[in-house]
Amino acid sequence: MMQPESKNLSQNPDIRFLGALLGEVIRDQGGEALYRRTEYIRSAAVDRARGVEGTDTGLDALDLDSTLAFTRGFMLFSMLANLAEDRAGGTNDNAIGVADALARLEQGGIGRDKVAETLSRALIMPVLTAHPTEVRRKSMIDHRNRIADLMLLRDAGTQETPEGEPVTEAIARQIALLWLTRSLRRERLYVADEVDTAIAWLRDVFLPVLPALYVHWDRALGQRVAPFLRVGSWIGGDRDGNPNVVAESLGMALGRASEAVLGHYLAEVDALGAQLSVSSELAAVGADVQALAEASGDNAPSRTDEPYRRAIAGIYARLCATFVTLTGKPCPKPSRLVAEPYAKPEALRADLVVLARGISRQAKALRTEGALARLIRAVELFGFHLASLDLRQNSDVHERTVAELLAVAGVEADYLSLDEAGRTKRLREVLASPRPAMLPRHGYSEETAGELAIFAAAATARTQYGERAIERAIISKAASVSDLLELTLLLREAGLDAVTPVPLFETIGDLDAAPNIMTEWLGLSEVAEAAKARGHQEVMLGYSDSNKDGGYLTSTWRLYGASLDLAAVFADAGIAMQLFHGRGGAVGRGGGSSFAAILAQPPGTVGGRIRITEQGEVIAAKYGSAEAARTNLEAMAAATLLATLEPPALHAKDGARFAGAMDTISAAAFKAYRGLVYDTPNFRQFFRTMTPVAEIATLKIGSRPASRTKSDAIEDLRAIPWVFSWAQARVMLPGWYGVGTALAGFEDRALLKEMADWPFLAAILANMEQVLAKSDMGIAARYAALAGDDGAPIFARIREGWERTRDQLLEVTGQSRLLEHNPALDASIRLRLPYIEPLNLLQIELLKRHRSGETDPRIAEGIQLSINAIATALRNSG
């Protein structure tokens, strides 16, 4: 890796610098022999990547201990290379910020007032989830972030850290700490751990960054913009397939979030008090500020002429009381005053606004106004709850719960035996009647009692932390109007009528049915009324499951089609639509640039409202530092504005032509994909032996079980291990399979080339190209050998499909090799490939030994380490 002068494909000086330091650490900590062996393996892999034949891999000489050490070394190198790359601005995003988007809109004749008006109706919300694809422990990420901070000092030419340590030594020490930190989790993760990790990002990054961004946006727009961009979370509320999420989890998640946000406000208010020493003897102070000062009960003689400080002491005391009430813990720095807690964030905001008004009357240039303005913004955005927490449960569970309620209430003895029309009719009757369907003290079954407890906890949470704490409940595997009505009933029983039920459509069939389901749903007068009062209705779209069901191209196209059709349904009903995109980091789960993805949304489907899941490794990548968070949040806001306000890039006539072509291509891709994955005898067995899917399930990276049921059918497997395991085996099948056959069979080549510039298809092809570049059929063939001779014909189809897909992509995009038009990404991937290959080869060996019954625990550990290392090197794991 490791010496700057040795064979290294990188032109990036940071990679060379960090790689050399890592080499030193390995030599120092692991010994000269390990260092030399690692260096040999690395340079042999580089040779092979350059086409030098016949080099020995050097892997055979590794015993188990050195295999583990070697794997860690390569993983750390990948982490450091990722860091260096992030510092250089990433590899493939043409994202712009809000100021540039405003300029672009202005050129198109769309002025700032129009933008501000759009924002007043807008909602953009990244929603953090705990989907288990982050393989790195938080301690590793924290070390990585410290190295990034030190690199900034180095950039500035600073020789010593503020603590007096030479900067290079400090970096080397952090790398040594990385080397000495166990990279695998020993204990399983609990929901509480996932909550804490998310809160750390929210507290350390979102809380300071978002209000500051608004200051910037207000200036760009020349007016105070509405709080259109806020944060959401699923952690502690998403119980679909995760029996560990229970009613207590909800209370725990919100309690901890509240502690974090109130702690932040307390510190900010305290700092304001130190600053605002304005004396009424030197400046006239308005009656409103005086009144707040009087009401504070702060009568300290030293402050009688300091009304702001007195008012702030009062606000601080009320915040302390709020902290005690909401968290059940003592205030971190208690107040001397006795005060009532704030009942709602709005009351806190109102007090802060009094101060701000007073100050702006006083002297426009008082610098604290900035801090105060940011604090007011923070209270608007984060309330007492920090992030809006969604509930999520599977429609089957809602169904069973409702069936039990209705049976016990004597309303419907066998709800589950009713057909859809019967269910809908019955549920509407129950909903129209004021008579409760739930008997409060009845002893329901464990599952039903658990569900009811969750809803009860949600109702309590909304009273405690404010209504914005929980605004939506999501229905996984939604497939009918009765699915929506069932949840509506459960919400009503708990007094949660104001919480929106949101259907999540996730298979190809459900996506196709979605427009009809929503037509029927919005056609119910009581529903339309509620949605109009709320101002919108949300629909969630599942990227991963539709991909697993129908393949990459069909999933993407049906998501597009469903969005368009849904937009028409909503327009007819006169109700604003809000789409919630359930995407992961890997292309097979809807990954790729968010900026491009938002811009590639069909015309008329964004309308200023968009929610997007952010999960796993994506969270640290996009929001791991203030700078990254600023760029990504700016990009999300800018893309939403452009997608909402710019006229469609496509003429309607072209749209229809392109759609016709896409229907044909998608049908062919679907056939090819389904033919392989679902209709090939023994495919399931092949997949299970060729990839490390079983071993991935043993990684302790999430609180939820790897599968919902005991079945080993692909249909029942969760999408994450499906995508994750194909990535490890370097096939990445969910990111491309079926596309080559479909494109090859499409006869109008000129039309296809014309369509390649359409942002929608361009985004599909760009993401697929990245996946093809990271996959490797030579390595994949070695994994396929794990499946024995029976698997050979299946693998032959995969290989052929891969080649066809690559050839078609090159032809359609007019390139002679992959990534010819994207040199930055090309260089990044080329740098990494030689480091991944030895990890793959080792993993295959370890899998063989593990599966043949060898029980040395270092083998299982080595497999897990190699999974981590490969995922880190590929960057998007699951």
Q: Which residues are catalytically annotated? A: 131, 548
Residue with Cβ nearer ligand PGA (547 or 770): 547
Shortest reach from residue 777's CB to ligand PGA, in Å: 25
Residue with Cβ nearer ligand PGA (240 or 538): 240
Q: Are 805 and 767 in contact (CB under 8 A)?
A: no
What CA–CA distance (Å, rounded) separates 546 from 559?
8
Closest to 383 in 3D by CA, of 325, 331, 343, 330? 343
Closest to 846 in 3D by CA, of 865, 834, 860? 860
Segment contacting ligand PGA by CB under 6 A, of 279-287, 344-352, 687-695, 713-721: 713-721
Q: Which of 374, 377, 462, 718 binds ligand PGA (CB under 6 A)?
A: 718
Q: Are 296 and 340 in contact (CB under 8 A)?
A: no
- The three-class DSSP label of residue 283 is coil
Shortest reach from residue 584's CB to ligand PGA, in Å: 5
* Contact call for residue 596 and ligand PGA (CB under 6 A): no
Q: Which residue is nearest to ligand PGA (CB)?
A: 544
List, as one string, the DSSP characters of 553-612.
HHHHHHHHHHHHHHHHHHHHHT--EEEEEE--SSGGGT-S-HHHHHHTSPTTS-TTEEEE
What CA–CA distance (Å, rounded) separates 778 from 105?
48
Residue 59 CA, chain-centre distance (Å), reads 37
Residue with Cβ nearer ligand PGA (240 or 493): 240
Segment contacting ligand PGA by CB under 6 A, of 15-23, 511-519, 581-589, 750-758: 581-589
Q: What is the chain's Cα-based Rg?
A: 29
Q: Which residues in 157-186 contact ligand PGA (CB under 6 A)?
A: none
Shortest reach from residue 601's CB to ligand PGA, in Å: 19
Strands 500-505 and 232-233 turn out to be unpaired
Tokens of 838: 């030895």
Segment contacting ligand PGA by CB under 6 A, of 115-123, 659-667, 692-700, 714-722: 714-722
Residue with Cβ nearer ligand PGA (476 or 689): 476
Residue with Cβ nearer ligand PGA (582 or 740): 582
Residue with Cβ nearer ligand PGA (390 or 545): 545
Tokens of 855: 């029980």
Shortest reach from residue 864's CB to ligand PGA, in Å: 21
* Contact call for residue 131 and ligand PGA (CB under 6 A): yes
Shortest reach from residue 411's CB to ligand PGA, in Å: 31
Q: Are 357 and 363 in contact (CB under 8 A)?
A: no
Shortest reach from residue 716's CB to ligand PGA, in Å: 11
Question: Starting at the edge strand that comes first in sequence, how are the strands of the sheet with 537-542 ordered?
Answer: 388-389, 232-233, 123-129, 609-615, 577-582, 537-542, 500-505, 472-476, 391-394
Helices (H) and strands (E) in the chain, counts: 36, 9
* Contact call for residue 774 and ligand PGA (CB under 6 A): no
Residue with Cβ nearer ligand PGA (348 or 553): 553
Tokens of 394: 């599977």
Number of residues binding to ligand PGA, judged by CB under 6 A: 11
Shortest reach from residue 93's CB to ligand PGA, in Å: 21
Shortest reach from residue 582's CB to ligand PGA, in Å: 6
Segment contacting ligand PGA by CB under 6 A, of 22-30, 554-562, 716-724, 788-796: 716-724
Closest to 582 in 3D by CA, of 623, 606, 546? 546
What CA–CA distance (Å, rounded) separates 837 from 493?
56
The CA-atom distances, in angstroms, between 608 and each of 124, 424, 511, 563, 605 are 7, 32, 22, 14, 9
Shortest reach from residue 587's CB to ligand PGA, in Å: 12
Residue with Cβ nearer ligand PGA (242 or 822): 242
- The three-class DSSP label of residue 422 is helix
The CA-atom distances, in angstroms, between 594 and each of 93, 590, 746, 763 are 9, 10, 29, 10
**What residue type is 437 in one-letter code?**
A
Taking the CA of residue 270 as centre, how many other CA atoms within 13 Å lie in the half-sphere pointing to its CB?
A: 14
List, as one string, the DSSP characters of 214-236.
HHHHHHHHTSPPP--B--EE-TT
Residue with Cβ nearer ligand PGA (545 or 549): 545
Residue with Cβ nearer ligand PGA (23 or 591): 591
Segment contacting ligand PGA by CB under 6 A, of 101-109, 339-347, 715-723, 860-868: 715-723
Q: Which residue has the tokens 């790729």?
A: 592
Q: Which residues in 497-526 contact ligand PGA (CB under 6 A)?
A: none
What CA–CA distance (Å, rounded) separates 76 from 63?
20
Shortest reach from residue 859's CB to ligand PGA, in Å: 29
Q: Which of 174, 362, 544, 703 binds ligand PGA (CB under 6 A)?
A: 544
List, as one string, the DSSP characters of 184-205.
S-SSPP-HHHHHHHHHHHIIII
Tell me 717's DSSP state. Answer: B
Shortest reach from residue 770's CB to ligand PGA, in Å: 18
Q: Which residues in 685-704 contact ligand PGA (CB under 6 A)?
A: none
Q: Which of 236, 584, 591, 801 binds ligand PGA (CB under 6 A)?
A: 584
Residues 6+ apart with CB under 8 A from 594: 95, 612, 622, 632, 635, 636, 639
Residue with Cβ nearer ligand PGA (255 or 590): 590
Residue with Cβ nearer ligand PGA (720 or 742): 720
Q: Which residues in 351-390 contact ligand PGA (CB under 6 A)?
A: none
Shortest reach from residue 519's CB to ligand PGA, in Å: 25
Segment contacting ligand PGA by CB under 6 A, of 158-166, 173-181, 718-726, 817-825: 718-726
Binding string, 470-489, against ligand PGA, x = CB under 6 A?
A: ------x-------------
Q: Are 762 and 814 in contact (CB under 8 A)?
A: no
Segment contacting ligand PGA by CB under 6 A, of 252-260, 299-307, 652-660, 717-725: 717-725
Q: Which residue has the tokens 């069901």?
A: 549
697 by Cβ neighbours in 10 Å (0-12 / 13-18 / 19+) ranks as: middle
Shortest reach from residue 686's CB to ligand PGA, in Å: 22
* Contact call for residue 719 and ligand PGA (CB under 6 A): yes
**What residue type is 498 in one-letter code?**
A
Residue with Cβ nearer ligand PGA (472 or 718): 718
* Contact call for residue 589 and ligand PGA (CB under 6 A): yes
Q: Are 151 and 171 in contact (CB under 8 A)?
A: yes
What CA–CA distance (Å, rounded) separates 258 from 247?
17
* Contact call for residue 115 and ligand PGA (CB under 6 A): no
Residue 95 CA, chain-centre distance (Å), reads 18
* Contact call for residue 239 and ligand PGA (CB under 6 A): no
* Contact call for residue 720 and ligand PGA (CB under 6 A): yes
- Which residues of the shown chain bind ligand PGA in the complex (CB under 6 A)? 131, 240, 476, 544-545, 582, 584, 589, 718-720
